[in-house]
Chain A
């Protein structure tokens, strides 16, 4: 079945350093979504990418969707302690596109040392 792989599993950075997490799907996706989950919290929607090669920015966060719509990345510039949490990508299968049936990556847990 469809799989979404995410790396790295953990990333420890010094405050002010950059951070990137990568997401790869075994199949072409109709769209990809990114979520942030704080410890003990619930996934909070960050952004959705739909178009091939799409790049979107939210302040210090940059999201990219690959040309083949099989990979994506999230880059955070100059991390802050408020960025701590686990970042998940989630893909929707274009063939079996049942709205909210998303395939989640394993997540990248980001810790930031002040």
Chain B
């Protein structure tokens, strides 16, 4: 859904550099989710955040990956010391609330990270 804004759309990084991906949720949405899609695969849940809180980071790699959703500004997914295996599409999604059966989430257009 075009209402979830992600940038950059495409990012190229050399091995060892840092990648920062930004996501602004749809207006009125306070819940943000990050998913990763490797080539030819489905989407894998990474992390679920509310403003200033990480609710569930069970899908995040233990090292080099971090996410935040500050009180002001977009949510940031940060990947330090990138490796070739980090090359993927990173999708952000948002929803107005959580914990309710049948809650729909809306995806942004994604950020394609290429590590060279």
Instruction: Judge: A and B partners, yes or no.
Output: yes
**Residues of A in contact with B (beta carbons under 8 Å apart):** 6, 30-31, 33, 35, 41-45, 48, 50, 88, 90, 92, 94, 97-107
Determine if B84 is an interface residue (Cβ-Cβ < 8 Å).
Answer: no
Contact B104 A48 (CB under 8 A): yes
Contact with A along B22-41 (1 / 0, CB 8 A): 00000000010101000001
User: How far does the alpha carbon of A104 sit from the alpha carbon of B36 in the complex, in Å?
Assistant: 11
Interface magnitude class on chain B: 20 to 34
* Interface-central residue, B56, B93, B101, B108, by most chain A CB under 10 Å: B101
Which residues does chain B contribute within 8 Å of A45, judged by CB atoms? 1, 104-107
User: How far does the alpha carbon of A104 sit from the alpha carbon of B91 in the complex, in Å?
Assistant: 13
The contact of B45 among A33, A42, A103, A105, by CB within 8 Å, is A103
The contact of A31 among B31, B41, B55, B101, by CB within 8 Å, is B101
Contact B1 A31 (CB under 8 A): no
Closest to B45 in A: A101
Closest to A33 in B: B104
Would you give 22 A-B contacts (Cβ < 8 Å), ordered by A?
A6-B42, A31-B101, A35-B107, A44-B1, A45-B104, A45-B105, A45-B106, A48-B104, A90-B43, A92-B101, A94-B101, A98-B56, A99-B103, A100-B33, A100-B48, A100-B98, A100-B103, A100-B105, A102-B45, A103-B45, A106-B41, A107-B42
User: How far does the alpha carbon of A33 sit from the alpha carbon of B104 in the complex, in Å?
Assistant: 8
Which residues does chain B contribute within 8 Å of A43, judged by CB atoms? 43, 91, 107
Contact B101 A42 (CB under 8 A): no
Given contacts A45-B105, A50-B101, 15 further A-B contacts (CB under 8 A): A31-B101, A41-B109, A42-B91, A43-B43, A43-B91, A43-B107, A48-B104, A94-B101, A97-B101, A98-B99, A99-B105, A100-B48, A100-B103, A104-B43, A106-B41
Which residues does chain A contribute within 8 Å of B107, judged by CB atoms? 35, 42-45
User: How far does the alpha carbon of A99 sit from the alpha carbon of B32 in the complex, in Å?
Assistant: 10
Which residues does chain A contribute within 8 Å of B114, judged by CB atoms? none
Contact A99 B42 (CB under 8 A): no
The contact of A99 among B35, B41, B44, B99, by CB within 8 Å, is B99
